[in-house]
Amino acid sequence: MQVFNAFFKVLRSKLGLALIYIPVFIAMTIGLTFADNGGGVFEQERLNVCIFDEDATPLSSALCDFIGKRNDLVPLENDRDVIIDALYYGCVDYVLTIKSGYADKLSVGKTDELYESMRMHDTYSTVYMTQMLNEYANTVSAYIAGGNDAITAAGKAGEAMLKDAEVNTAKFDDNSGAVLTSTAALYFRFLVYALIGLTMSTLCPVLLAMSRKDIRYRTNCSGIRPNSYTLQILAGCVIYIIAIWAVFVAIGAVMNGGVFEGAQWIAVLNSFVFMLFTTMLTIFVSSFDPSINIINIITQVISIGMCFLSGVFIDQSMLGEGVLSAARFLPAYWYIRVNRMLEGSEPFDQNTLVLSIAIELGFAVVLAFMTLLIRRVRYGGMTVHKAQTSAACITE
Amino acid sequence: MKNSVVKIDNLVKRYGDLTALDHLSLDIAEGEVFGLLGPNGSGKTTTINCLLSLLTYDKGDIELFGKKMSPTAYNIKKEIGVIMQNVAVFDELTVYENIDYFCGLYINDKAQRKQYVDEAVKFVGLEEFLKSRPKKLSGGLLRRLNIACGIAHKPKLIILDEPTVAVDPQSRNKILEGIEQLNREGATVIYTSHYMEEVEQICTRIAIMDKGKKIAEGTKDELKRMIRNTETMNIEIIDLPDEVRSKISVLPHVYNTEYDGSKLTVYCSGGKHNLTRVLGVLQEHELGFGRVYSELPTLNDVFLEITGKALRDKED
Amino acid sequence: MFFHNLKYELLINLRAPALIAWLMIFPIFLGTVFKIGFGSIYETVDSFGSIPTAVVETKENEIFRSVVESVSEGDNKLLDVTFTDEENALRMLKDGDVKGIIYSGDKVTLTVVGKGIQETIIKSFIEQYNVYADIITDAVRNDPARAQDVIAALSADMTACREVPLTQGDPDHYAQYFYNLIAMVAIFGSVTGLHITETNQANMSALGARRNCSPTPKSASLTAALAGSFIAQAVCMTICVTFIQFALKIDFGERLPLVYAAAIIGGCLGVTMGFFIGSIGRLSSEVKNGIAMTVSMLCCFLSGLMVGNIKGLLAEKIPWFNNVNPVAIISDCFYCLNIYSDFDRFSFKMISMAVYIVVFTSLGIILSRGKKYASI
């Protein structure tokens, strides 16, 4: 137990560092949760549309009303730079200018170049918007051709186009739908980033201090077996990280709007297993004795890279098949799959659920074994031997 | 009176409640090899760091070469060579590059620098290792590199803070000889150590420190004269009756005796033929004894007598 | 004196390449990840692949059937339709073989499982069909004779909306992520900046103590150390931009030399930030490292590296913030070069960076020069 006890003594001296990282990661996770306004998962997405009505007739305001029903109208200063900024940063998705003469032209059935649009991104929603505006003109014109006056035609066209198709959500026997609130689901999704980043940033300094060369040599000289040493370190790490994890789960409960119930505990279990993985990953990486600066960079590469590829920062439904099949080799992918089932984006399937969590656990176990192996090789006397021979060559 | 190189006046340094330096005053003249002797934690390194304006201090004045020392006193710093307790060299640079780098912080002229660096290399005997990185050097060689980096620019004042810690006897002798040579060439040397033999060997004047205070100062002979003890006798003897020991204790010049069951130690102060008298008492009682040897006082005895504790615990 | 110091600073950087190497590897790695990730988004979202759909006919509906068939033919077909019975359709939906089931009868309805983009496309297809059905019904009730005109109007070319091109540069939404990535590499220069203080402060290393004893003024040795780090960081930035431009083919617009300049200045900003953090107070090097890291991460996060719209949100809610956040300033430089034809905004961002560099450097030097330490 000596190693285990020493671990916590070292840990105590590094707590200050942890106290810098923990609030930042909490802030970022909560920030991500609330900043992600859907991020691409949309059921009939509302766009932020800015309209400059140069025509200013009843017919053009009918168009504005029509657009406003399904979208949010955003006022903007009619200045090119302001518009470009707003578009670039996504404050506005679509800018429409109704050209003067709109009403006159439409009344006589002319539908060419009634308005101008600007958009930054060719996403589905904005392409759809242009299509819908084209259709609207044709629909109004068709109603006029059918014998209605312009205003009535516009009204009927708007009404017809706003009619929703009846959409049912299929319920299968084992499909319990969304288990988590969407806020909690997003929170648990972004937790991946915090867990990787936080585990590595706070645990590595402790591990590196424990395995400093002279201390390691001294430990090597003692009777302790390398496996026992590694297991004691491992136990210490897990206990430490569980403490941090518990803080995040508590915040998760707040996001959830209360204590977890029933199937919601799956989210907690899922994050627990993923935390085991990040702990093993940290121990594994620190077995290579990198400097603290390099650890910091590796942490960024792993956390951000894995989050982008496995559907944390980008929704899995938006990632292509190729990326997703590659992501299967990342535990975060399986974590997110479980989370998607809990948020109702994917059919709930008990087998997939168990499999996913088992795979996450599998990654942790594999890393644990690799760590044991590496520590045996690196700390089992080989390095000491090498260092001694090289020193012996030099001494007089 | 020679010029004063270092003048420390009433220096006080506190770390919280701990007083590391307690009204310390030192005056070191040009051409001296001045030893700061004291056990671990007595304040030697703190004195050096204050002297170099690395540390803040709470009270007192420090003058070097007659000028007030400060972090920006570059003219003073130019004349000082420092060899720190910890090896301070770049792992990324070779032996030669390290010396050149540090020398370059003092000497701008390239040609002169090259000459100085070469001399420094020769001085510490690292000619064969010019292209080696510090990591490949053994402890003793590393210490020598550390010294070369500190003295390459031929400073007038050389400060060595425990330069021989963890160094093998050969390297240690080489280092000590080097210091004496530098002194012969005109440098004033401040040397801290807790090895009294070293200090006795090379220092012209010695200050003994304990708990941040200077407890004695002078040449080694002066220091030894300060104490009562002039001779310590050790006699290996088994089963010494108390009455005999008491008899020895009251002999003239004897001021203390110690007996641990196998060895009798007798402390004398002044006088002649002390040993004969002690042995006479033993013979009188027909007691057999083994090895007998007598020692003159060391700096350790000085320290022991002034503070009541040994300078260092046996060997460390 | 300066060049002597600089020479050795560079030599040290060169001999200890691990950190610099990682600073080079990490944008290459993350850049590739971004490219793959966003590339696949275009694949799924922005190019309309045909959506697998099941159609269950509850009642004969000739018109709908022919409409469905017309959109599921050709190269650019919208739907990939399977006509089948309800039981089979539900099984396919459950297994994920189809995204939705269209029930056609008197009323056309849709059954889906999720609420993704493809489900939405099927839904709008049905709605469009319903609108046309409504118009025809309305026309027939009003005046059957006009039916021909109505159909003509419906089938007229869709030209009502003219799209105005926005920019001269590449309006790629995801370019922002790459801009932020470059800015992240730049701000991570703080790691090298921190290192400067570590080897120059007496209370942080034995080397620092030795340097402090030398007659070289601290401002001189620090300036040389900074210059050395600037050069190392500039190399990192150049490699990073080159990789993103030429290997990942992210278009920075026409003014590439200025892109390099902005990236390098950004890198210097990162170095000086680390230098400044390293110079404050008596914190341990580990804690200083932690502060530099968290500050860098937070700045990246707020600039939208993780989720892009955060920067937009901030621009809406606290407009001044993006002008203060160093990472946002750096990434905005690239954006300005790409989007705006004039140099007003770009110059403003560049000046902001220069101000940061000057402030950080001077504060750092002021904090560490002529300094004694309370303990070593």
pLDDT tens for C244-274 read 999 988 878 788 899 999 999 999 999 999 9
Rounded to a whole number of angstroms, the distance from the CA of C69 to the nearest CA of chain A is 19
Instruction: Establish if A186 touches chain C: CB-CB under 8 angstroms.
Output: no
Rounded to a whole number of angstroms, the distance from the CA of B137 to the nearest CA of chain A is 6
Beta bridge partners of B216: B208
pLDDT digits (tens, 9 = 90+) for C294-349: 999 999 999 988 887 787 777 767 778 888 999 999 998 998 888 777 788 899 99
**Using the beta-carbon criterion (under 8 Å), do C286 and A205 form an inter-chain contact?**
yes
Instruction: Supply the mean pLDDT for chain B.
Output: 87
Supply the DSSP symbol for A382. I
- CATH number of the domain encompassing residue B250: 3.30.70.100
Number of residues assigned to chain C: 376
Instruction: Establish if A395 touches chain B: CB-CB under 8 angstroms.
Output: yes
Mean pLDDT over residues B106-126, rounded? 91
Sheet containing A72-73: order of strands? A72-73, A48-53, A94-98, A115-118, C161-163
Residue A162 CB: number of other CB atoms within 10 A? 12
Domain interval for residue B260 = 231-296
Domain assignment present for residue B315? The answer is: no
* Closest residue, chain C, to B87 (C-alpha): C206
* Total structural domains within chain B: 2
Instruction: Establish if A349 touches chain C: CB-CB under 8 angstroms.
Output: no
Q: Which of B135, B145, B167 to mutate to test the interface with A (most CBs of A within 10 A)?
A: B135
Instruction: Establish if C71 touches chain B: CB-CB under 8 angstroms.
Output: no
Rounded to a whole number of angstroms, the distance from the CA of C323 to the nearest CA of chain A is 14
Of C109, C117, C161, the CB nearest to A168: C109
Selection from A95, A311, A121, A313 nearest residue C175 by Cα: A121
% of chain B beyond a pLDDT of 70: 97
pLDDT, greater one: A10 or A390 = A10
Contacts of C221 in chain B (CB under 8 A): 105
pLDDT on residue C45: 54
pLDDT on residue C168: 55
**What band does A197 get if pLDDT is binned at 50, 70 and 90?**
very high
**Using the beta-carbon criterion (under 8 Å), do A20 and C171 form an inter-chain contact?**
no
**Exposure of A336 by Cβ count < 10 A (0-12 exposed, 13-18 middle, 19+ buried)?**
buried
Is pLDDT of B95 > 90?
Answer: yes
Is pLDDT of C8 > 70?
Answer: yes
Interface of C with B in 167-206 (CB under 8 A): 202, 205-206
* Closest residue, chain B, to A396 (C-alpha): B138
Is pLDDT of B315 > 50?
Answer: no
Mean pLDDT over residues B127-135, rounded? 91
pLDDT on residue C112: 81
Instruction: Establish if A293 touches chain B: CB-CB under 8 angstroms.
Output: no
Q: Of B225, B252, B282, which one is at a domain's C-terminal end? A: B225
Which chains contact B through at least 3 pairs of Cβ atoms less than 8 Å apart? A, C
DSSP string across chain B: -PPEEEEEEEEEEEETTEEEEEEEEEEEETT-EEEEE--TTSSHHHHHHHHTT-B--SEEEEEETTEE--TT-HHHHTTEEEE-SS----TTS-HHHHHHHHHHTT---HHHHHHHHHHHHHHHT-GGGTT--GGGS-HHHHHHHHHHHHHTT--SEEEEESTTTT--HHHHHHHHHHHHHHHHTT-EEEEEES-HHHHHHH-SEEEEEETTEEEEEE-HHHHHHTSS-SEEEEEE-SS--HHHHHHHHTSTTEEEEEE-SSEEEEEE-S-S-HHHHHHHHHHHTT-----EEEE---HHHHHHHHHSS-SSSS--
**Using the beta-carbon criterion (under 8 Å), do B84 and C209 form an inter-chain contact?**
yes
Residue B162 CB: number of other CB atoms within 10 A? 22
B83 and B68, same domain (yes or no): yes
Rounded to a whole number of angstroms, the distance from the CA of C14 to the nearest CA of chain B is 9
pLDDT, greater one: B114 or B227 = B114
Contacts of B130 in chain A (CB under 8 A): none
Domain assignment present for residue B308? The answer is: no
**Using the beta-carbon criterion (under 8 Å), do C340 and A20 form an inter-chain contact?**
no
* Nearest-angstrom CA–CA distance, A180 and C319: 34
Distances (CA, A) of A158 to A54, A64, A164, C146, C204: 20, 11, 12, 21, 72
Sheet containing C51-57: order of strands? A166-169, C109-112, C100-104, C51-57, C79-83
pLDDT digits (tens, 9 = 90+) for A228-250: 888 888 899 989 999 999 999 99
**Using the beta-carbon criterion (under 8 Å), do A293 and C289 form an inter-chain contact?**
yes
B113 and B36, same domain (yes or no): yes
Is pLDDT of A41 > 50?
Answer: no
pLDDT on residue A122: 58
Q: Where are the domains of chain A?
A: 2-36+176-394, 48-162
Interface of A with C in 18-57 (CB under 8 A): 20-21, 24, 27-28, 31-32, 35-37, 39-45
Domain assignment present for residue B316? The answer is: no
Contacts of A329 in chain C (CB under 8 A): none
B86 and B13, same domain (yes or no): yes
pLDDT on residue B309: 67
Q: Which of A308, A312, A341, A346 to mutate to test the interface with C (most CBs of C within 10 A)?
A: A308
pLDDT, greater one: A385 or C221 = C221
Contacts of A390 in chain B (CB under 8 A): 136
Which CATH number, 3.40.1710, 1.20.950, 3.40.30, 3.10.310, labels domain A48-162? Answer: 3.40.1710
Contacts of B108 in chain C (CB under 8 A): 1, 4
* Closest residue, chain A, to B135 (C-alpha): A391
**Using the beta-carbon criterion (under 8 Å), do B54 and C373 form an inter-chain contact?**
yes
pLDDT on residue B34: 94
Mean pLDDT over residues A133-158, rounded? 85
B151 and B32, same domain (yes or no): yes
Distances (CA, A) of C45 to A41, A42, A120: 11, 12, 15
- Fold designation for C48-150: D-Maltodextrin-Binding Protein; domain 2 (3.40.190)
**What band does A274 get if pLDDT is binned at 50, 70 and 90?**
very high
Task: Please list the residue range(s) of chain C that carry CATH number 3.40.190.10.
Answer: 48-150
Interface of B with C in 90-109 (CB under 8 A): 90-93, 97, 101-102, 104-106, 108
Instruction: Establish if C367 touches chain B: CB-CB under 8 angstroms.
Output: no
Residue A392 CB: number of other CB atoms within 10 A? 9
**Using the beta-carbon criterion (under 8 Å), do B55 and C5 form an inter-chain contact?**
no
pTM to 2 decimal places: 0.79
pLDDT digits (tens, 9 = 90+) for C159-196: 788 877 666 555 566 788 899 999 999 999 998 899 88
Crossing angle of the two packed helices C309-317 and A15-35, in degrees rounded to 10: 80
**Using the beta-carbon criterion (under 8 Å), do C15 and B15 form an inter-chain contact?**
no
Angle at C238 between CA C235 and CA C239, to 5 degrees: 85
% of chain A beyond a pLDDT of 70: 88
DSSP string across B106-153: T---HHHHHHHHHHHHHHHT-GGGTT--GGGS-HHHHHHHHHHHHHTT
B251 and B290, same domain (yes or no): yes
Which residues in B have their CB inside 8 Å of a CB on A?
129, 132, 136-138, 141
pLDDT digits (tens, 9 = 90+) for B47-93: 999 998 888 899 999 999 999 998 888 889 889 999 988 888 888 88
Number of residues assigned to chain A: 396
Mean pLDDT over residues B180-207, rounded? 90
pLDDT on residue B113: 92
Distances (CA, A) of C340 to A85, A246, C75, C167, C344: 10, 48, 38, 7, 9
Is pLDDT of C156 > 90?
Answer: no
Of C11, C210, C374, the CB nearest to B88: C210
B49 and B140, same domain (yes or no): yes
**Exposure of A174 by Cβ count < 10 A (0-12 exposed, 13-18 middle, 19+ buried)?**
exposed
B91 and B164, same domain (yes or no): yes
**What band does B314 get if pLDDT is binned at 50, 70 and 90?**
very low
- CATH number of the domain encompassing residue B221: 3.40.50.300
Of C11, C202, C215, the CB nearest to B77: C215
B118 and B241, same domain (yes or no): no
Pairing of strands C100-104, A72-73: unpaired
Residue B7: both structure tokens together: 């003048």
% of chain A beyond a pLDDT of 90: 26
Please enumerate in sequence order all residues whose Cβ is within 8 A of that of C28, keeping only pairs 6 or more positions apart, or say none: C239, C240, C243, C247
**What band does C277 get if pLDDT is binned at 50, 70 and 90?**
very high
Supply the DSSP symbol for C83. E
Give the number of A-B residue pairs with CB atoms closer than 8 Å: 13
**Using the beta-carbon criterion (under 8 Å), do B136 and A396 form an inter-chain contact?**
no
Domain assignment present for residue B73? The answer is: yes
Q: What ipTM was predicted for this assembly?
A: 0.78
